[in-house]
Amino acid sequence: MTPELISSLKQFAPEGVIISGLVFLFIMDAILPSSRESRLPLFVVLFSCILGALVTIGVIPTEASSLFSGVIQSDGVTTFFRLLFFFSCAGGTLLAYETKVLDRDSLSEFSLLILCVTFGMCLMASATNVLMLYIGIETVSIISFVMAGLKRDDARSNEASLKYLIFGAVASAIMIYGFSLIYGVTGSLNYGDIAKALIEGGGEPKWAILLSMVMVYVGLAYKISAFPLHFWTPDVYEGAPTPVTAFFSIAPKAAGFGAAIRFFLCVLSTPGEAGVWTPMALGHGAWTQAIAVLSVLTMLVGNLSAIGQKNVKRILAYSSVAHVGYLLMGFVSANAFGVTAVLFYLVAYCLMNLGAFWVVGLVADRKKSEDLEAFKGVGWEDPFLGVTMAIFLFSLTGIPMFSGFVGKFLLFSNVVQTPGFLWLAVIGVLNSVVSLFYYANILKAMWLDKPDTVVEAPVSSVHRIALAVLAIPTMVLGLYFEPILKVTQSLVATFR
């Protein structure tokens, strides 16, 4: 092996851990058929995630480096997303540990699938070649279709899987055609070479460049549930098993943002001094202006659609669409602080959204329903669930002293400092106010409404510890966020 290949394999070690976990699960499934109905595969996933995180911390790069002849890149942003993916994978696996919505014989399949998706997400976030990006997206998407339909005897789960498949197939076809146009115009698949060709060619022909970028956005918007490719989200979130929904609401979205950061800043911008990129002009303006409009539309659609919902999973689904709108605000400045704000918000969002879906899963196991009616009086039946859910929802709203507030403050302040985008920050604040209405409906049901029937179903210590692990940082980061902010800034500093 060449020294370059050896170096690439060393920096690719975290993904190698996930691949090893997958191989072990396949072997175990073949030689120990009884493990299919046990929780042993879940422990393999947890061990793989923990070991992968430790290896990631051990190979944090001090500067950006290309791996495997430039198809992927290792830098601080890659490290950030690896850790986020491993944490999300471990969280979804723990939620599935004692869930009642998945049969015992489905746990082995769930374990294999969630590790496959995690590997695909790592490829998405580190890809610097459009072919590698497409491979990563398809790895995540195809496996996700199966995960959404894990409840085989449930009509809603089957419907969710089918809708996800249809949307995914259409988005994938459009995106791959966009990639073909990019290759036809630039003659390259690598991000750096594409950017160089666009600069030297003056962005001509403009119609082909514009059309290809719209098509690429369609593929990425589908992954992150951005307008107008968000329609699949509420139905898939409602129909999929809650552990799968909790995982979907965080990890694939984060992977989509990781891919978007690299694509838009590496392909459609020219790097400058002090972590500032100059967006290329597309059509009559820079692409950042189009992102700003799409951010507003995504926020509005998500928040306004959530108001009339009666199913809590659908409420949180539309809420996740709105949060994608907030995250898109970080792109309009095209600078390192905007990327830092996006990464910090993803940390806060991972904690509070995973926690909210965790509580929904526990209530659904107890009441056999995910409707608002099932949440009546839960705060009095189990104060721990009521208090933790309040923490997560207050943070999702952006109320001060919670991590969600700090994340939104960073995004909004970044937009305010960008000339010509003050209006975007104002719309973002107004949307946060609107979101308080539907979050308050959940808390009202939990604390102010009396339950129709009282169900005695104590929450296990595993779930209580997990919720505490999610709730405490959600509060602490709202008051003492500087260490995490400095870490994200140092990771972004290696991004080129």
User: Dihedral sign, CA of 155, 160, 139, 48?
Assistant: negative
Three-state DSSP class for 331? helix
Query: What 8-state DSSP symbol labels residue 73?
Result: E
How far, in Å, are 146, 232, 236, 316, 476 from residue 157 at the CA level?
10, 13, 8, 17, 37
Question: The tokens of 139 are what?
Answer: 């790895």
Tell me which residue has tokens 């602490």.
476
For the chain, the residue count is 496
pLDDT in the model for residue 109 = 85
Tell me the C-alpha distance between 29 and 44, whole Å.
Answer: 12
Three-state DSSP class for 278? strand
Q: Which long-range contacts (CB under 8 A, 24 or more apart) does 273-279 make?
A: 274/336, 275/335, 275/336, 275/337, 275/492, 275/493, 276/334, 276/335, 276/336, 277/334, 277/335, 278/334, 279/334
Identify whether the C-beta of residue 193 lies closer than 8 Å to the C-beta of residue 146.
Answer: no
Identify whether the C-beta of residue 406 lies closer than 8 Å to the C-beta of residue 474.
Answer: no
- How many Cα atoms are found within 13 Å in the side-chain-facing hemisphere of 22? 15
- How many Cα atoms are found within 13 Å in the side-chain-facing hemisphere of 329? 35
State pLDDT tens for residues 250-293.
999 999 999 999 988 888 877 776 667 767 766 556 788 889 99
pLDDT in the model for residue 34 = 67
How far does Cα 83 stand from its chain's mean position?
12
Buried b (16+ CB within 10 A) or exposed e, 434-469: bbbebbebbbebbbebebeeeeeeebeeebbebbee
Burial class (CB in 10 A: 0-12, 13-18, 19+), 297: middle
pLDDT in the model for residue 85 = 95
Nearest to 145 by CA among 158, 135, 132, 155: 158
pLDDT in the model for residue 7 = 79
Tell me the C-alpha distance between 318 and 310, whole Å.
Answer: 12
Nearest to 309 by CA among 202, 379, 237, 241: 237
Longest dimension (CA), the chain: 70
Banded pLDDT at 302 (limits 50, 70, 90): very high
Pairing of strands 281-282, 285-286: antiparallel
pLDDT in the model for residue 9 = 82
State pLDDT tens for residues 438-487.
999 999 988 887 776 666 667 778 888 999 999 999 999 999 999 999 99
Question: The tokens of 436 are what?
Answer: 């308080």
Tell me the C-alpha distance between 175 and 214, whole Å.
Answer: 9
Tell me the C-alpha distance between 191 and 168, whole Å.
Answer: 24
Q: What is the mean pLDDT of residues 386-400?
A: 93
Identify whether the C-beta of residue 335 lies closer than 8 Å to the C-beta of residue 275.
Answer: yes
Nearest to 350 by CA among 41, 130, 36, 121: 121
At residue 23, does pLDDT exceed 80? yes
Banded pLDDT at 377 (limits 50, 70, 90): confident
User: Dihedral sign, CA of 23, 28, 31, 35?
Assistant: negative
Question: The tokens of 454 are what?
Answer: 């009282």
pLDDT in the model for residue 204 = 65
Helices of type H across 240-280: 242-248, 251-266
Tell me the C-alpha distance between 9 and 1, whole Å.
Answer: 10
Question: The tokens of 107 are what?
Answer: 């746990």
CB within 8 Å of 230: residues ≥ 6 apart: 221, 298, 301, 302, 321, 324
Tell me the C-alpha distance between 496 and 9, whole Å.
Answer: 21
State pLDDT tens for residues 209-247.
888 888 999 999 998 999 888 888 898 998 888 888 889
- Residue 42 has phi, psi (to 5 degrees) of -65, -40
Q: What is the mean pLDDT of residues 426-448?
A: 91
Tell me the C-alpha distance between 476 and 472, whole Å.
Answer: 6
Banded pLDDT at 200 (limits 50, 70, 90): confident
pLDDT in the model for residue 452 = 67
Q: What is the mean pLDDT of residues 307-323?
A: 92
Three-state DSSP class for 192? helix
pLDDT in the model for residue 203 = 59
pLDDT in the model for residue 106 = 76
Tell me the C-alpha distance between 346 and 496, whole Å.
Answer: 20
Tell me the C-alpha distance between 387 and 406, whole Å.
Answer: 20
Banded pLDDT at 335 (limits 50, 70, 90): confident
Q: What is the mean pLDDT of residues 24-51?
A: 83
Identify whether the C-beta of residue 171 lies closer than 8 Å to the C-beta of residue 229.
Answer: yes
pLDDT in the model for residue 121 = 94
Tell me the C-alpha distance between 185 and 86, whole Å.
Answer: 37
User: For the chain, what is the mean pLDDT?
Assistant: 87
pLDDT in the model for residue 161 = 87
Identify whether the C-beta of residue 346 lies closer than 8 Å to the C-beta of residue 361.
Answer: no
Q: Which residue has the higher pLDDT, 208 or 202?
A: 208
Q: What is the mean pLDDT of residues 419-424?
A: 89
Tell me the C-alpha distance between 163 and 174, whole Å.
Answer: 17
**Least-confidence region, from 1-5, 16-20, 282-286:** 282-286
